[in-house]
A and B are shown apart, each in its own frame.
Chain A
Amino acid sequence: MQNMGIDVLFKGRNFLRLLGGLWVAVRISLISVAISIVLGILMGMLMTLKNRPVQILCRIYLEIVRIMPQMVLLFIVYFGTTRVFGWNLSAEYAAIIVFSFWGTAEMGDLVRGSLISIPKIQYESARALGMKEGTLFRHVILPQTVRRLIPLSINLITRMIKTTSLVMMIGMVEVLKVAQQIIEANRKSSPNAAFGVFFVVFLLYFLICWPVSRAAVYLEKRWAE
């Protein structure tokens, strides 16, 4: 493996640095997912309201997120808003804002989808049993919704982790950036390092995302009626 450049990773603290970079990506994803889940549930419930202006606003929001690449959103928040409002925003905050903005829309749509997929008869039979709206939501609707939602939210985590690779474009030092730095630093001693190092980065992403998406698939199958 000498000429493939994997040896570079065993020099000094290089591999640890790479993992550190990966942690940056995972950290941003986890924070953003947590925010997205909370805001997304609120948004999903808002969307099921039969209020025309609210529905239109939500629609527009969803459409923006659906069409605009996350990279464009990152640029707007990181370069655009700092310019217009003159504030100072770290790349990490910008990334969390953008990913939460994106995740909330995705999550909101999922929550709405699961809420409306509960058959009307469930509401009707609960009311026929004399349940109050609160009890009905807490004991009948919520448990069914959550089961549908959990696999989908787990999927969102993997998508977040994959998308965080973009933050290097606004200057954050995450795993790809660390990889580039390592390759650059060892250009002379190990000219083929690019192969080994990028190969390992490829594998690292896979090793993080794959188990998570398997878990989502497993839960989805297990909880499917």
Chain B
Amino acid sequence: MDPGVIKSYLPLYRDALLLTLRIGWQGVLLAFIIGFLCVTAIRFKVPVVRVIVKGYIELFRNTPLLVQLFFLYFALPKIGIRLSPEFCGSLGLGLLGGAYMAETFRSGLDNIPVIQQESAESLGMNRLQAFRYVILPQAVASSVPGFLANTIFLLKETSVFSTISLMDLMFTAKDLIGMYAKTIECLTLLVVFYLIMLLPVSILGSFVERRLRHAEYGD
């Protein structure tokens, strides 16, 4: 292990981390929005849209991100849709994540006992009011651990971005190994930088899970 080499590589890895984080968070945010919209369409049984949404969820949950990205980046230009690599990254992550977030959110909704809906209705709330004030807050709270797990999953998935020539952590490591053959240093930095990115989310995740379990069962 050569400290000099590590020091000289640091700025490259830092830039790669920032790029990964930027695309990653855009993707996660997009995933939340898509997931929420999908679940709303399913919950309120919007005709046609509901079927499309279900198809989308199945399609994107059952294909790898890498293939989705290849399709967005290499295939779409052939029918005239040209997207920048960064945009492809965020969009691909958002589409993949949207399907996962929707599933997590939906099971959160399904776990709310029917009696909650009924007591809200028996107090004279209409469906929208019951959803907004009674069902939604509970479903969001119980889905938080799942949301965080999905976030970790999505940030991990960013590691395939290098295939559409985004200079993320993986790309940087691969590139440097190819050029200077300092394999050990490059891989160590790779691991360290992924830890920097994901350890906080993971710790937050277990913290929230403990808190929620406490809120449900303890007093």
Q: Does B40 contact A (CB under 8 A)?
A: no
Query: Would you call A75 and B173 a contact (CB within 8 A)?
Result: yes
Residues in A whose Cβ lies below 8 Å from that of B163: 169
Which residues of the partner chain B approach A202 to less than 8 Å between Cβ atoms?
63, 67-68, 71
B residues with CB within 8 A of A: 58-59, 61-64, 66-68, 70-71, 74-79, 152, 156-160, 162-163, 170, 173-174, 177, 183-184, 187, 190-191, 194-195, 198-199, 202
CB–CB A80/B183 < 8 A:
yes
User: Interface on chain A toward B: helix, strand, loop, or mixed SS?
Assistant: helix
Give Cα A63–Cα B184 distance, bound, in whole angstroms.
22
Contact of B183 among A83, A165, A192 (CB under 8 A): A83
Interface size class of A (residues with CB under 8 A): 35 or more
Q: Is the CB of B74 within 8 A of A72?
A: no
Please, which residue of chain B has its CB at the minimum distance from the CB of A192? B78
The answer, among A4, A69, A197, for a CB contact under 8 Å with B194, is: A69
B190 & A201 in contact (Cβ 8 Å cutoff)? no
Q: Which of A72, A168, A195 contacts B191 (CB 8 A)?
A: A72
- How many pairs of residues, A versus B, come closer than 8 Å at their CB atoms? 109
Residues of B contacting A68 in the complex (Cβ-Cβ under 8 angstroms): 156, 191, 194
**Assembly CA distance A165 to B79 (angstroms):** 25
Task: Give the chain B neighbours of A72 by CB distance below 8 A.
Answer: 159, 170, 190-191, 194
Min CB gap B80→A, angstroms? 10
Residue pair A67, B198 in contact (C-beta under 8 Å): yes
Give chain A nearest CB distance to B32 CB in angstroms. 21
Query: How many angstroms between the C-alpha atoms of A209 and B99 in the bound complex?
Result: 15
A205 contacts B159, C-beta separation under 8 Å:
no
Known: A68-B156, A69-B158. 17 other contacts (CB 8 A): A4-B79, A67-B152, A67-B198, A75-B173, A75-B190, A76-B191, A79-B183, A165-B67, A169-B162, A176-B66, A176-B70, A192-B79, A194-B74, A198-B74, A198-B75, A199-B75, A206-B59
Asked if A58 is at the interface (CB within 8 A of a chain B CB), the reply is no
Can you list 14 residue pairs at the A/B interface with Cβ under 8 Å? A4-B78, A66-B202, A67-B198, A67-B202, A68-B191, A72-B190, A75-B187, A76-B187, A83-B184, A162-B63, A169-B170, A179-B70, A194-B74, A210-B58
In residues 196-225 of chain A, which contact B (Cβ within 8 Å)? 197-199, 201-202, 205-206, 209-210, 213
Residues of B contacting A35 with CB < 8 Å?
Answer: none
Closest to A163 in B: B64
Interface residues of chain A, those whose CB is within 8 Å of chain B, are 4-5, 63, 66-72, 75-76, 79-80, 83-84, 158, 162-163, 165-166, 168-169, 176, 179, 183, 191-192, 194-195, 197-199, 201-202, 205-206, 209-210, 213
Question: In chain B, what residue has the closest Cβ to A203?
Answer: B63
Closest 7 CB pairs of A and B: A209-B62, A69-B159, A195-B78, A71-B159, A165-B64, A162-B64, A198-B75
Residues B78 and A194 in contact, CB atoms below 8 Å apart:
yes
Task: Name which residue of chain A comes closest to B169, CB basis.
Answer: A72
Q: Are B157 and A69 in contact (CB under 8 A)?
A: yes
On whether the beta carbons of B75 and A195 are closer than 8 Å, the reply is yes
B188 to A, closest residue via Cβ = A80
CA distance A179 to B174 in the complex (A): 22
Instruction: List residues of chain B with CB within 8 A of the CB of A162.
Output: 62-64
Instruction: Return the contact of A84 from the options B58, B76, B77, B184 (Cβ within 8 A).
Output: B184
The answer, among B62, B78, B184, for a CB contact under 8 Å with A213, is B62
Contacts of B79 in A (CB 8 A): 4, 192, 195
Given that A83-B183, A166-B160 are contacting pairs, would A210 and B62 also be in contact in the complex, using a CB cutoff of 8 Å?
yes
Q: Which residues from A are CB-within-8-Å of B174?
A: 75, 169
Q: Which residues of B contact A69 (CB under 8 A)?
A: 156-159, 170, 194
Q: How far is the CB of A182 from chain B (nearest CB, A)?
A: 12
- Residues on A with C-beta less than 8 A from B202 are 63, 66-67
| Interchain CB contact under 8 A, B63 and A206 | yes
Report the Cα distance A165→B67, complex, angstroms.
8
Q: Is the CB of B152 within 8 A of A206?
A: no
Q: Which residues of B contact A66 (CB under 8 A)?
A: 152, 202
Contacts of B199 in A (CB 8 A): 67
In the assembled complex, the Cα of A199 lies from the Cα of B59 at a distance in Å of: 12
